[in-house]
Amino acid sequence: MDSLRQIFFQECEEQLAELESGLLEIQSGGADDPEIVNAVFRAVHSIKGGAGAFALEDLVRFAHVFETVLDEVRKGRLTTSSNVIETLLRSADVLSDLVRVARDGGTVDDGRIRTCSDELAALSGVPAPAGGAEEADEGFDDIGFTPVTVALPVFDDLDISAEPEGGTEYTIEFKPYPSLYSNANEPVVLLRELSRLGEVTATCDTSAVPNLEEIDPEGSYLSWTIQLKTEQAEDEVRSIFEFVDGDCELTISDASGSTASAEPVDDEIEALLARVRGEVEEAPDAIREDNNADAAFGSFGSSNAVMGQLEAVEAMQAEQPKPTAPAPQAAANNLVPPPAAEKPGSPQPEPAKPPAPAKNEKGATSEAAQTIRVDLDRVDRLMNLVGELVINQAMLSQRLSEAGLSRSSEFATGLDEFEQLTRDIQEGVMAIRAQPVKSVFQRMPRLVREVAAATNKKVRLVTEGEGTEVDKTVIERLADPLTHMIRNAIDHGLEKPEVRVANGKREEGLVRLSATHRSGRIVIDIADDGAGINRARVRAIAEEKGLIQPSAQLTDEEVDNLIFLPGFSTASTISDISGRGVGMDVVKRSIQALGGRVSISSRPGEGSTFTLSLPLTLAVLYGMVVTVADQTLVVPLTSIIETLKPKPDDVHGFGGDSRVIGLRNNFVPLVDVGRELGFRSQAADPGAGVALLVESDGGGHSALLVDAIQGQRQVVIKSLEANYGRVPGIAAATILGDGRVALILDVDAVVAGARIGNLGQEAVLAMAG
Amino acid sequence: MSEMSAAHVLDKHAGTARELIAFAVGKQEFCIDVMSVREIRGWTPATVLPHSQSFVRGVINLRGAVLPIMDLAVRLGFPPTEAMGRHVIIVVQVGSQLVGLLVDAVSDILTVTDSDMLPPPDVASDMAKRFVCGLLAMDGRMISILSVDNILPERDDGEVQ
């Protein structure tokens, strides 16, 4: 049950995402596309259905009200004006809160649900029910309806009633196929749904149930005849069976329509119909009472004949000109199967849906993208194995070239192909882990709505490149920084509406969130068309908080980057939205932890753009392979800004042990990596080595002194923690083409270590083999 | 501590035969339970880990996993091993971790019963107290039984001491 629950909530997430993106699409002018409206409706309907199965009453109740409004939209009776969409979007938020509460516990503000329900009810014109079915009954009482029972002896358990004023009576014949059960549908749930619409009298036909020894445990033997009295339109009744379409035999006929017409012929037909139905009901009893095979055959024969009669009668009924009556089954069977998804919004009544042939159903699903759910562990294991393969391949080609094989030999060409294949496999496996950023982008519209409401600003969010794919782990860890940055963009970036108007801008602020792939990385822009960074104010605050010296000469870019300093907050009052002073430095740190960078470009009066550049995967890393004191190290390329060959004249002593290097009228600290890691005790000669200019925590620059650069390479990241533990100054390990382990430098830690002094005791290098 | 672990070892295997793998470090012989040994492989140069304790030789590539190598000689208080091709790495599993132990040579697999095992003598040596949990007397040789659990560097919050 728990696992079912889990699946239900997973699916809820998907449906909610579908719902929100659909609504947003409608908002941006897609209301004409019935597919979108339909998808939105289906999303809410599925949530309602699932929630019903788990007895999540609150959720069902709200989803029902929501669904009613969406159905009005679907039928074209409610136009999607901006007000309506606002309400629907808010309802989607409430719905997702209800789902969350159902999953994780907690409470949702009752007032909010109430307000939202009322708004929805106002839209649909149907009062929000307080408690499902009773409400529907009350509805009948209100219009003073008194059921009159017509005595029909053969029809004992069916409640044929006189036509209620304003209501319709349907006769629903519902015969599930085995596939209905195998698709985890449950007739009881459907019947319960029906009972929400009105008064239901259901009769179960057990005649098809064979003797015990002949029962196929997965077979379907029961069918139902349901009399439903309701005010709802037939579409409404039919929509309950939407999910079992094709999995059952379903006829919905408007019984009251025929009685209401009050033509004598109809009465006769009705009576006949009732009688033959009664006979059909009785026939099985005969079978069960009499085990004699001949008698059973006889009964079957007669009941078949009766069936034939029944159909004939129904066909006759259908010929009666009744605009509201659906095409009966006999006629419907000749119709072409309806399209897999109904076309909503059509004003005319929908044609009856005959049971879709199974093969048609399959054809429809195969067109849609097929997906499977796979345990993440399995993918990761595959990922690891491919990592091994890559290393092995690199080792093999290194061995072969060491063996002096010529480039044109068969081995070499074979190896080239092998290398290509390996790379393809690696990309393929990484693609499995890759997901579109949509999953995190689509959380943002809601955030924007909430923040806009809290700050009394008008904001339009535009997202681009939602299909851009990146590793799942990256996506998961992107949500928080993005949330923060969007909050900031609205709270700090955008001006108040009146200020915007005064400045000749549109009242509505624009926040643009876009993702693209650029040279093996994903680049995400968060742009606003607000006032831009107020540099004078940023500077003043940084000075006030002692983050910079008043005398410091800073470029515009450097001033902009001050907002990434820990403890910096420009909001003069601490608001609920942002401005807790933990904003941008946390953003920057979490992006850097992912191997990414943040940069800002801002123009006064025109807005600011924050650009995140992130690796596509956390399993591999592009690094510069360097030599330090005979050890091979990998420095992540993302932190390297440039490399330079220091001239001895540029290097100056600074204090006791430290050195700085002069670089274009600036001095940056020179970090001797060999000493910092304890690989050597004497300071290296800067003239003999290479300096890597790196950016570290907080945007500061430092120069890392290494002995030589071997090259750039993509490396597979290996954990040191698994078998050993954390090593100061080292982020992880990797295995190079020669089969040896190389350590990946933790640039921030090394730079920070150099700032506070040597990291610790020095390793005894002499012992290394 | 040593007495307790010795008692524990003896208790646990009372009356049953155990297999131990014997190896040489310096001039002395040691052994560990064969059940904790994953594989035995030749020496390959290790990548030095910065700021590690003196007995941590570094890490090597064990079919894609990063395997830390402990110089057992240094751990036991001898001078560091001058590692060459003939030296041997015994890969042992301690808890969930795999660790390589650098030794001079593997000599034997011994099958012993509890009656063969003697408690460690109460000597001042730190090595004996921390790592030796029993002794074996065999054909006039003295073989110390090591407890692998104590050989790893202590982990404290994931940080190497």
What is the rounded CA–CA span in Å between residue A12 and residue A48? 10
User: A379 to chain B, minimum CA–CA distance in Å?
Assistant: 17
Asked whether residue A154 carries a pLDDT value surpassing 50, the answer given is no
In chain A, where the domains are located: 2-130, 142-365, 376-435, 437-615, 620-767
Question: Can you read off the two tokens belonging to residue A66?
Answer: 């929501």
Q: A768–B58: do the CB atoms touch at under 8 Å?
A: yes
CA-nearest residue of chain A to B51?
Answer: A763
Q: Are A554 and A542 in contact (CB under 8 A)?
A: no
Written as six digits, the tokens of A102 are 């159902």
Query: Which residue of chain B comes nearest to A723, CA vs CA?
Result: B97
CA distance A474 to chain B (A): 24
Are B64 and A391 within 8 A, CB to CB? yes
Give the rounded percent of residues in chain A with a pLDDT score beyond 90. Answer: 4
The residue to which tokens 């089969």 are assigned: A739
The whole-angstrom distance between residue A125's C-alpha and the CA centroid of its chain comes to: 32
Res A1: pLDDT: 62
Average pLDDT, chain B: 80
CB contact under 8 A, A769 and B43: yes
CB–CB of A169/A225 below 8 Å? Answer: no
Domains detected in chain B: 2-151 (2.40.50.180)
Residues A355, B63: Cα–Cα separation, whole Å: 58
Residues in chain A with CB shorter than 8 Å from the CB of B66 are: 718-720, 722-724, 733, 735, 741
Res. A95: pLDDT tops 50: yes
**Could A761 and B51 be called an inter-chain contact, meaning their C-beta atoms sit closer than 8 Å?**
yes
Contact A724 B48 (CB under 8 A): no
Number of H-type helices and E-type strands within chain B:
3, 13
Angle, in degrees to the nearest 10, between helices A34-53 and A57-74: 160
Q: Do A678 and B80 touch (CB under 8 A)?
A: no
Q: What chain A residue is nearest to B52 in terms of C-alpha separation?
A: A763
Both tokens of A448, joined, read: 């924007």
- The whole-angstrom distance between B20's CA and the closest CA on chain A is 24
In this complex, how many residue pairs, one in chain A and one in chain B, have their CB atoms less than 8 Å apart?
Answer: 112
Q: By percentage, how much of chain B surpasses pLDDT 90? A: 19
Q: Is the model's pLDDT at A405 over the cut of 80? A: no
Among A107-111, A161-165, A628-632, the range scoring the smallest mean pLDDT is A161-165
Q: What is the pLDDT of residue A256?
A: 56
In sequence order, the 6+-apart residues with CB closer than 8 A to the CB of A674 are: A628, A629, A680, A684, A705, A706, A707
* Rounded-to-integer distance, Cα A256 and Cα A420, Å: 72
Chain B contact residues (CB < 8 Å to A)? 43-52, 54, 57-61, 63-68, 71, 74, 80, 83, 97-99, 153, 155, 158-160
What pLDDT score does A196 carry?
Answer: 78
Judge whether A138 and A67 are in contact, CB under 8 Å. Answer: no
pLDDT of residue B157: 39
DSSP character for A650?
Answer: G
Cβ within 8 Å, pair B50-A728: yes
pLDDT, mean of residues A76-92: 81
Contact A676, A729 (CB under 8 A): yes
Dihedral sign (CA A372, A378, A383, A386):
negative
Closest by Cβ to B51, choosing from A678, A722, A723: A678
pLDDT at A563 (0 to 100): 82
> Nearest Cβ partner of B47 from A391, A721, A740?
A740
Residue of B45, B65, B160 lying closest to A725 (CB–CB): B160
Chain A positions contacting chain B at CB under 8 Å are 384, 387-388, 391, 631-632, 677-679, 718-730, 733, 735, 739-743, 759-765, 767-769
Q: pLDDT band for position A269 (50/70/90)?
A: low
Higher pLDDT, residue A746 or A147: A746
The beta-strand segments (E) located in B9-139 are 18-25, 28-33, 37-42, 56-62, 65-71, 88-94, 97-103, 105-112, 117-118, 132-138
Provide, as residue numbers in chain B, all residues whose Cβ is less than 8 Å from the Cβ of A731. none
In the predicted structure, residue A578 carries a pLDDT above the cut 50: no
Given an 8 Å threshold on Cβ–Cβ distance, is B48 in contact with A765?
A: yes
B interface test, pick of A382, A718, A724, A730 with most B CB neighbours within 10 Å: A724
B-chain residues within 8 Å CB-CB of A677? 50-51
pLDDT higher than 80, residue A142: no
Calpha distance A202→A195 (Å, rounded): 10
Q: Do B52 and A727 touch (CB under 8 A)?
A: yes
Comparing alpha-carbon positions, the chain A residue that sits nearest to B60 is A741
Question: Do B51 and A727 count as a contact with CB atoms less than 8 A apart?
Answer: yes
Q: Pick from A681, A740, A741 the residue to mutate for testing the B interface (most B CBs within 10 Å).
A: A741
When CB atoms are compared, the residue of B49, B83, B158 closest to A721 is: B158
Phi, psi at A511, each rounded to 5°: -120, 125
Q: Judge: domain A2-130, CATH 3.90.70.10.
A: no
Placement of tokens 């085990």 in the chain: A291
Is the pLDDT higher at B154 or at A65?
A65
How many residues make up chain B in this entry? 161
Write out chain A residues lying below 8 Å of B158, CB-based.
Answer: 721, 725-726
Residue A720: CB atoms within 10 A of its CB come to 21
The residues facing B32 across adjacent strands are B21
Q: Which residues of B touch A733 (CB under 8 A)?
A: 47, 59, 66
CB A661 within 8 A of CB A670: yes
* Most distant pair of Cα atoms in chain B: their distance: 46
Average pLDDT of the segment spanning A320-334:
44
Q: What pLDDT is stored for residue A202 in this prediction?
A: 81
Q: What is the pLDDT of residue A291?
A: 46
> Which among A358, A6, A12, A368 has a CA at the least distance from the CA of A182?
A358
Q: How far apart are CA B33 and CA B21, in angstroms?
A: 6
Q: Mutate which of B43, B44, B52 to test chain A, going by most A C-beta atoms within 10 A? A: B52
Cβ proximity of A514 and A464 under 8 Å: yes
- A318-353 burial: b if 16+ Cβ within 10 Å, else e: beeebeebbbbbbbbeeeebbeeebebbeeeebebb
**What superfamily would CATH give domain A620-767?**
SH3 Domains (2.30.30.40)
> What average pLDDT does this structure show over A616-639?
86
Q: How far is A522 from chain B (nearest CA, A)?
A: 28
Nearest residue in A to B87, CA atom: A769
Pairing of strands A248-254, A198-205: unpaired
Q: What pLDDT is attached to residue A181?
A: 80
Cβ atoms A492, A457 nearer than 8 A: no
Using CB atoms, pick whichever of A725, A730, A741 lies closest to residue B50: A730
B160 DSSP 8-state letter: E
Least confident of A4-13, A72-81, A364-373, A742-751: A364-373
Q: Distance between alpha carbon A645 and the CA centroid of its chain, in Å?
A: 49
Arch. (CATH architecture) of A376-435: Orthogonal Bundle (1.10)
- Range B122-147 average pLDDT: 80
Separation of alpha carbons B133 and A366, rounded Å = 66
Higher pLDDT, A521 or B41: B41
Query: How much is the mean pLDDT over chain A?
Result: 74
- Contact list in A for residue B52 (CB cut-off 8 A) is 727, 763
Using DSSP, state whether A477 is helix, strand or coil.
Answer: coil
A496 or A106, which is more confident? A496
Of A718, A727, A768, the CB nearest to B46: A768
Distance from CA of A729 to the nearest CA of B (A): 8
Which of A387, A727, A767 is nearest residue B50 as measured by Cβ atoms? A727
pLDDT digits (tens, 9 = 90+) for A209-233: 888 777 777 788 888 888 888 777 7
Spatial distance between the Cα atoms of A53 and A49, rounded to a whole number of angstroms: 7
A352 with A332: CB under 8 angstroms? yes
Q: Residue B59: its chain A contacts at CB < 8 A?
A: 720, 724, 733, 741
CATH code for the part of the protein at A437-615: 3.30.565.10
Q: Do A768 and B71 touch (CB under 8 A)?
A: no
pLDDT at B21: 92
Q: Which residues of B touch A725 (CB under 8 A)?
A: 153, 155, 158-160
Per-residue tokens: A729: 């100054």
Residues B61, A305: Cα–Cα separation, whole Å: 81
Give B49→chain A minimum CA distance, Å.
7
Rounded Cα–Cα distance for residues A285 and A18 (Å): 49
The Cβ of residue A473 has, within 10 Å, a number of other Cβ atoms equal to 16
Q: Which of A721, A722, A763 sits opposite B51 (nearest CB)?
A: A763
From the list B68, B98, B159, which residue is nearest A726 (CB)?
B159
Separation between Cα atoms, residue B135 and residue A275, nearest integer Å: 98
Residues of A within 8 A of B83 (CB-CB) are 769
DSSP codes joined into one string, A8-33: HHHHHHHHHHHHHHHHHHIIIIITT-
Q: Kindly provide the ipTM of the predicted complex, given to two decimals.
A: 0.81
List, edge to edge, every strand of the sheet that includes A509-518: A459-464, A509-518, A521-528, A607-615, A597-603
Task: Say if the Cβ atoms of A764 and B54 lie within 8 Å.
Answer: yes
Q: What pLDDT sits at residue A274?
A: 64
Could you tell me which chain A residue has the CA closest to the CA of B100?
A: A723
Q: What is the pLDDT of residue B60?
A: 92
* Chain A partners within 8 Å of B71 (Cβ): 767
